[in-house]
Amino acid sequence: KQEVTQIPAALSVPEGENLVLNCSFTDSAIYNLQWFRQDPGKGLTSLLLIQSSQREQTSGRLNASLDKSSGRSTLYIAASQPGDSATYLCAVTTDSWGKLQFGAGTQVVVTP
Amino acid sequence: DAGVIQSPRHEVTEMGQEVTLRCKPISGHDYLFWYRQTMMRGLELLIYFNNNVPIDDSGMPEDRFSAKMPNASFSTLKIQPSEPRDSAVYFCASSLEGSEQFFGPGTRLTVL
């Protein structure tokens, strides 16, 4: 059974510092991995989707890497800003239907 | 595009009442997913549809829960009768060909 883990559960950094968020999964047979952002009381916003054949994906200040063999993905956010404060969730799909298995998330606070 | 639309945004009801949650997916998307989020269990997939056909409802917690998708632009999740432990945020998401999922803003359900 696929298990997705995100460590740490919470993280606080000063503005301007780079953020590094980790996601690990137990079954390397994934179709893709998706990173989301969730603001308090809001829905999930898709940040990046990495296909299983890709090693990384970039969008603006965000870069996500994928190492299937070791069951890990890392989300880098460069030059963090207070507006980056949110909970970040990773999720993997293990079938072509796109069924997502979520981690518990990392709550990030960027202090001015 | 307006994104995934859910209604109502908030629902407060009494135990034993019927609750109906509604979702309009992104136009052209062929997959629709219903999730539930609680503090204790995180995000859980309840059921998903492909081309309006239910594919996997193994996440539906009990027979009190049912979901329908009568056409490509509308889905409902019904709880009858509702119980206090059903209190959660319910999200609907849609995707094209099982790829990147886009979430709605959610319905916060409180059962008294």
The two three-digit tokens of residue A3, written as one number: 């298990």
The model's confidence at residue A98, banded by pLDDT at 50, 70 and 90, is confident
B106 contact residues in A (CB cutoff 8 A): 42-43
B91 contact residues in A (CB cutoff 8 A): 43-44
Of B50, B98, B106, the CB nearest to A43: B106
CB contact under 8 A, B103 and A89: no
Please give the share of chain B, as a percent, with pLDDT higher than 90.
Answer: 93
How does pLDDT run across A11-38, given as a tens digit for each residue?
999 999 999 999 999 999 999 999 999 9
The two three-digit tokens of residue B2, written as one number: 């307006």
Give the pLDDT score at B1.
63
Is it the case that residue B99 has pLDDT exceeding 70? yes
B90 Cβ under 8 Å from any chain A Cβ: no
